[in-house]
């Protein structure tokens, strides 16, 4: 099956998570992704949080599938020469080094554009160019704090809280992938490459869009009616943390199910969607609430929403999270069990759809990873193992026209 990005050659100068998540996605869709890594060590995640001695860590394998690995010391003249050759015949270069690192290496945007005017140069940085923090190095949690996620996540009586979801890293990588694909389409029209830049702060903020909505509503009316603080608590002049409240117009909460005393994940998320009030009352065996003026409208319910949630929890007390959802789904109530990583890893639906995949690896045996969350009618992305460090060095160099003797010489001086 021909994949849409087949024929697109990408120099993957990325490390850790944000950049690798982007290039991995493009590799799944058919791009020829060549990961350039420092000889001897490679991407730092190969060694981070190892669970098997001498085998690449899952942190690396789960973010670098379907790629090739070329080791190259791009600070040495000989390494730079190889990189220049690669640049001349590639479509995209993706990097997420610290601020200024690519320039210091001698590959500024101007130089790259001179070497290959058709090439797209895609970068992730913590903050956007010209931002007063644009000299900072940034990791996931830093970005979540800088992008508005931390100040709006958690409970009102606790500190700002980090989400487990990689809002700063993989999310930024997904933004970058969209930027690269857009620039590739643009190049079809203009024949020219361009620079695509995405900052982690901007990408987090983009996902916190509804919180900026809330800031403006708060400034106008002084309260936010869907937050647990309303109507009994106080609002300051900034969007508060709302615990597990529903972020849209639908009140919701995480509710205890049978076994919660011993199982920290025996919970469901329950949403009280306005027009579903009648089915909710029927599901709970509370038909008298349907027309009761104290319950009938969302406005009437809000002052005692936690008392309603308590009643629902009493109904849930003898049902597991799965039993509860099986009942509630019949009443069209938006809800889901709180699923653990163990449950997700073994979920037959996710296995069947290719969202959770088992990948054979030369050194590790097989490992689980998250496959493409994007499904196509004409293509099923196939996940293959991440490369060993330098696994494709010879192949890439031969492709660039190097002889076996020249490759030997490059190895002797540790340029590859």
Judged by CB under 6 A, the chain residues 155 through 174 that form the site for ligand CAO are 169
Binding part of the chain for ligand CAO, among 90-98, 148-156, 248-256, 404-412 by CB under 6 A, reads 90-98
Pull the structure tokens for residue 13: 């100068």
- For ligand CAO, the binding residue among 7, 40, 98, 233 (CB under 6 A) is 98
CB of 195 to ligand CAO, least distance (A): 15
Pull the structure tokens for residue 299: 């406005």
96 vs 153, beta carbon nearer ligand CAO: 96
126 forms part of the interface with ligand CAO (CB under 6 A): yes
How far is residue 408's CA from residue 46's CA, in Å, rounded to a whole number?
25
Q: Are 230 and 224 in contact (CB under 8 A)?
A: yes
138 forms part of the interface with ligand CAO (CB under 6 A): yes
CB of 211 to ligand CAO, least distance (A): 22
User: How many chain residues interact with ligand CAO (CB under 6 A)?
Assistant: 25
Tokens 């629902």 belong to 312
Judged by CB under 6 A, the chain residues 22 through 51 that form the site for ligand CAO are 36-38
18 forms part of the interface with ligand CAO (CB under 6 A): yes
How far is residue 320's CA from residue 336's CA, in Å, rounded to a whole number?
12
Q: How far is CA 98 from the centre of its chain?
A: 20
Pull the structure tokens for residue 250: 């639908």
Binding part of the chain for ligand CAO, among 85-93, 111-119, 121-129, 205-213 by CB under 6 A, reads 121-129
38 vs 213, beta carbon nearer ligand CAO: 38
169 is catalytic: yes
323 vs 391, beta carbon nearer ligand CAO: 391
392 forms part of the interface with ligand CAO (CB under 6 A): no
Q: Are 23 and 67 in contact (CB under 8 A)?
A: yes
121 vs 316, beta carbon nearer ligand CAO: 121
Structure-derived torsion over alpha carbons of residues 139, 140, 142, 143, reported in degrees to the nearest 10: 110
C-alpha distances in Å from residue 129, one per residue of 99, 136, 145, 299, 347:
9, 11, 19, 45, 42
- For ligand CAO, the binding residue among 88, 104, 192, 363 (CB under 6 A) is 104
Q: Are 118 and 34 in contact (CB under 8 A)?
A: no
- For ligand CAO, the binding residue among 4, 41, 51, 75 (CB under 6 A) is 75
Phi, psi of 21 (to 5 degrees): -65, -40
- For ligand CAO, the binding residue among 12, 43, 91, 140 (CB under 6 A) is 140
CB of 96 to ligand CAO, least distance (A): 3
How far is residue 344's CA from residue 351's CA, in Å, rounded to a whole number?
9
DSSP 3-state assignment of 299? Answer: helix
238 forms part of the interface with ligand CAO (CB under 6 A): no
| Cis previous bond, 231, omega within 30 | yes
91 forms part of the interface with ligand CAO (CB under 6 A): no
User: Which one of 43, 169, 202, 214 is the catalytic residue?
Assistant: 169
Residue 317, phi-psi category: left (phi > 0), alpha (psi -120 to 50), beta (remainder): alpha
How far is residue 42's CA from residue 371's CA, in Å, rounded to a whole number?
23
Question: Footprint of ligand CAO on this chain (CB under 6 A)?
Answer: 16-19, 36-38, 72-75, 96-98, 101, 104-105, 124-126, 137-140, 169
Q: Which residues are tagged catalytic?
A: 169
């Amino acid at each position: 099956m021909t994949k849409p990005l087949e024929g697109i050659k990408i120099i993957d100068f990325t490390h850790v998570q944000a950049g690798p998540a982007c290039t991995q996605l493009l590799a799944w869709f058919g791009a020829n992704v060549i990961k350039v890594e420092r000889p001897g060590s490679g991407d730092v995640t190969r060694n981070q949080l190892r669970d098997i001695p001498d085998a690449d860590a899952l942190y690396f394998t789960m973010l670098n599938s379907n790629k090739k690995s070329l080791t190259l010391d791009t600070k040495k003249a000989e390494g730079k020469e190889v990189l220049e050759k690669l640049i001349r015949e590639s479509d995209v270069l993706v990097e997420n080094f610290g601020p200024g690192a690519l320039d210091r290496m001698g590959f500024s945007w101007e130089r790259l554009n001179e070497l290959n005017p058709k090439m797209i140069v895609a970068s992730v940085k913590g903050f956007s160019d010209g931002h007063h923090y644009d000299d900072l190095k940034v990791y996931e949690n830093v970005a979540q704090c800088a992008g508005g996620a931390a100040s709006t996540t958690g409970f009102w009586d606790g500190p700002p809280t980090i989400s487990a979801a990689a809002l700063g890293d993989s999310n930024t990588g997904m933004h970058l992938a969209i930027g690269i694909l857009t620039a590739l389409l643009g190049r079809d029209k203009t024949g020219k490459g361009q620079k695509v830049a995405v900052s982690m702060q901007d990408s987090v903020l983009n996902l916190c869009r509804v919180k900026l909505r809330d800031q403006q509503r708060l400034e106008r009316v002084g309260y936010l009616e869907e937050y647990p603080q309303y109507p009994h608590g106080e609002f300051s002049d900034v969007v508060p943390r709302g615990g597990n409240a529903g972020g849209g117009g639908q009140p919701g909460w995480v509710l205890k199910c049978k076994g919660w005393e011993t199982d920290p994940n025996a919970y469901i998320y329950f949403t009280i969607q306005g027009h579903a009030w009648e089915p909710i009352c029927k599901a709970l065996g509370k038909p008298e609430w349907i027309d009761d003026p104290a319950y009938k409208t969302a406005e009437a319910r809000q002052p005692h929403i936690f008392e309603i949630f308590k009643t629902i929890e009493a109904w849930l007390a003898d049902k597991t999270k799965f039993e509860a959802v099986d009942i509630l789904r019949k009443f069209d109530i938006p809800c889901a069990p709180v699923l653990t990583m163990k449950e997700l890893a073994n979920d037959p639906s996710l296995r069947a759809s290719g969202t959770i995949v088992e990948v054979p690896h030369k050194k590790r045996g097989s490992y689980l990873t998250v496959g493409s969350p994007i499904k196509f009618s004409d293509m099923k992305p196939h996940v293959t193992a991440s490369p060993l460090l330098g696994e494709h060095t010879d192949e890439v160099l031969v492709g660039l026209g190097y002889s076996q003797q020249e490759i030997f010489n490059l190895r002797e001086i540790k340029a590859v």
